[in-house]
Amino acid sequence: MIPLERCGAVLLCAGLSRRFGADNKLLMPLDGKPLVTYGADLCAVAPFASRYAVVAPADIALRDMLSGAGLTLVDNSDPATGRNRSLRIGLAAALTEGVEGVLVLLGDMPHVTLGHLEALARAAEPDTAAISHDGDAAMPPTLIPAAIARAVLGEPDRPVRTLLGEPALVHADPALLADYDTPNRFERAP
């Protein structure tokens, strides 16, 4: 187990929303509030040792919203390089706090619960990551132990997923792990 109190949270918010269109999906309303606020609120209520959001420097509205929610902003100056770069930037920031693990969340997954994060914490060990699984595929949120996070930073040319070894799978209902990548997904929101 790696308790949430000994973890840093990293909320990834620097994506380009290519499948969504011209608008930033993280700022789109879902049940009356911007999509990204669900992840930010979850970070606020969980007892993390630290809370970071990886963002693009040019995304002023998103930056204002996240800093107002109590997250420390970390810049990804080249979001076009993909999620692995954002993830490494977030891991490096969180590790400066001396945490035992880093819990990685996505800004476009509004239904993740504190109970699911606690299940990830129970499944993780100092040498074993814990990753969410919807019955078909593994996906974030993911709890990466500090030792593995440091190893990831030492291998910048390899995809992060390939460096996690054999993570513990924490099953969750697909609805809980739903991400909002297209306008159609907002229309089908529960």
Query: Which of the four pLDDT bands, split at 50, 70 and 90, describes residue 58?
Result: confident
Q: What is the mean pLDDT of residues 8-29?
A: 77
**Res. 184: pLDDT tops 90:** no
pLDDT value at 108 more than 80: yes
CA distance 46 to 105: 12
User: How far apart, in whole angstroms, are the C-alpha atoms of residue 153 and residue 107?
Assistant: 22
CA pair distance 131, 52, nearest whole angstrom: 19
Tell me the H-state helices in the chain: 36-45, 60-68, 83-95, 114-123, 146-153, 183-187
Give the global pTM.
Answer: 0.92
Choice among 15-24, 36-45, 100-109 with the minimum mean pLDDT: 15-24
Name the more confident of 163 and 181: 163
Are 132 and 117 spatial neighbours (Cβ–Cβ below 8 Å)? no
- The CA distance from 16 to 173, in Å, is 27
d(CA 128, CA 169): 10
Comparing 169 with 69, the larger pLDDT belongs to 169
